[in-house]
Amino acid sequence: MAAERLRLGICAGEASGDILGGSVLRAWRDRGAALDITGIGGDQMQAFGLESICPIERLSVMGFVEPLKRLPELLGIRRQLITQQLSAPPQLFVGIDSPDFNLPVERRLRAQRIPTAHLVSPSVWAWRQGRIRGIGKSVDRMLCLLPFEVDLYQRAGIDAVCVGHPLVDDLQQLPAADSLRRELGLSGEQTLLAVLPGSREAEIRHLMPVFVAAMSQLQDRHSDLHFVIPAANPGRYRQIQSYLERADLPVSLIQGRGREVMHLSDAILIASGTATLEAMLLRKPMVIGYRMAAMSWAILSRMVKSPYVGLPNILAGHEVAPELLQDEATPSRLADAVSQMLEGGGDAQVARFNELAGLIGGNFANRCIDALMPLINR
């Protein structure tokens, strides 16, 4: 019996979306489906037959100025994608992340009775909450990575389902913590504090001086403590190293391997961001610290509607992991909070992290397919 043939339209505007799309297409193929795929994507999705109408890099723009400079090109690509999809309508179109590009495409296609879905909810819970009305006109179903996002859409009358988070599956593939310690030349007897000051130059510039001062205080309090810092890339390695040269600390600076460093640690001092979700899924007690330029903080703190910045706290609806932000992120307060974690205060955190991880769940790719198939078959 011939494999079921599915005509899919798909668009990912960044490498991270291409990875998500690739994992879903792989699972679909493993279920025995033969896929005819059109749209935009990178190497991961092209491996399953997608012939991208343009390089995915042409959609990967960030900030406020760069998209405006590239606007004519981006609008041209969007028109080309819509024309392609309407000329040979797929059974389903899936936009992956990149909401500013994908949602208008989905809206046009849905108006022509092509079923549409969007994978990875925009952060409507954090800012620009009015976007949810436009999303309702664009998608037949929103595929959310986090369970609290589903409630927001359902209250707005939009069909949404939680498909879990790919990190849940990815992190289960990590080697054992003691094996990683041996591989990286770290003692199995020492207490290890992972310090993650962010992956951007500005984050490290604002956070690293405060983190180093907190680390000095922690060294005085905990004689067996060793610090491990993963640097996101060679530029950040050199930047972090320049701050460490000014302090006499027992520290290992490692190129990359942020997940492994978190996994082998006993606790984490971490900048706000997606890494806080990774730390939660690894069940590591953490203290979240963040600083930025005063003007940026004045603007952003008025835009953001969520009372928390750390994803574990947003998931829980209350502060599970301490958050020390901007003027509150002082060396002494950070050191106090980390000390409490190291002295047993992190046990309650880890217990709550177990509950929250269970709400998210894994098996991401197959749950995506289960959520998408009803749109094809209806």
Residue 307 has a pLDDT of 73
- Which pair of structure tokens corresponds to residue 149? 């996002």
Residues 362, 368, 373, 378: what is their CA dihedral angle, to the nearest 10 degrees? 110
Residue 58 has a pLDDT of 83
What CATH class is the domain 171-360? alpha beta
pLDDT band at 310 (very low <50, low <70, confident <90, very high): confident
pLDDT band at 1 (very low <50, low <70, confident <90, very high): very low
Q: Angle 321-338-243 (CA atoms, 0-180°, nearest 5)?
A: 115
Higher pLDDT: 156 or 299? It is 156
| Long-range contacts formed by 61-70: CB under 8 A, 24+ apart | 67/100
- Which of 98-107, 156-165, 294-303, 328-337 is least confident? 294-303
Mean pLDDT of the chain: 89
Rounded to a whole number, what is the largest CA-CA distance in the chain?
A: 70
pLDDT band at 304 (very low <50, low <70, confident <90, very high): low
**How far, in Å, CA of 345 to CA of 174, rounded?**
26
CATH 3.40.50.2000 positions along the chain are 5-164+363-377, 171-360
Residue 177 has a pLDDT of 94
Residue 220 has a pLDDT of 93
**pLDDT tens readout for residues 107-141:** 999 999 999 999 999 876 545 566 787 899 999 99
Contact 159, 140 (CB under 8 A): yes
Exposure letters 210-243 (e unless 16+ CB within 10 A, then b): bbbbbbebbbeebeebbbbbbbbeeebbebbeeb
Fold of 5-164+363-377: Rossmann fold (3.40.50)
Positive or negative torsion for Cα 126, 129, 131, 133:
positive
**pLDDT tens readout for residues 189-228:** 899 999 999 888 888 998 999 999 999 999 999 989 999 9
Residue 2 has a pLDDT of 45
pLDDT band at 352 (very low <50, low <70, confident <90, very high): very high
Percent of the chain residues topping a pLDDT of 90: 68
Alpha helix positions (H), 14-91: 15-30, 43-46, 65-69, 71-87
**pLDDT tens readout for residues 32-77:** 999 999 999 999 999 999 999 999 888 865 544 555 666 788 899 9
Residue 296 has a pLDDT of 66
**How far, in Å, CA of 289 to CA of 197, rounded?**
8
DSSP line for 290-345: E---HHHHHHHHHH---S--SHHHHHHTS-SS-EEEGGG--HHHHHHHHHHIIIII
| Long-range contacts formed by 306-313: CB under 8 A, 24+ apart | 306/125, 306/126, 309/272, 310/272, 310/276, 310/286, 311/146, 311/274, 311/276, 311/277, 311/280, 312/276, 312/277, 312/279, 312/280, 312/286, 312/352, 312/353, 312/356, 313/288
Say whether pLDDT at 324 is over 60: yes
Residue 61 has a pLDDT of 58
The arrangement of strands across the sheet holding 51-52 comes to 51-52, 34-40, 5-12, 92-96, 116-119, 141-144, 160-162
* Span 279-296, average pLDDT: 88
Residue 305 has a pLDDT of 64
- Which of 96-100, 128-132, 175-179, 372-376 is least confident? 128-132
Residue 300 has a pLDDT of 58
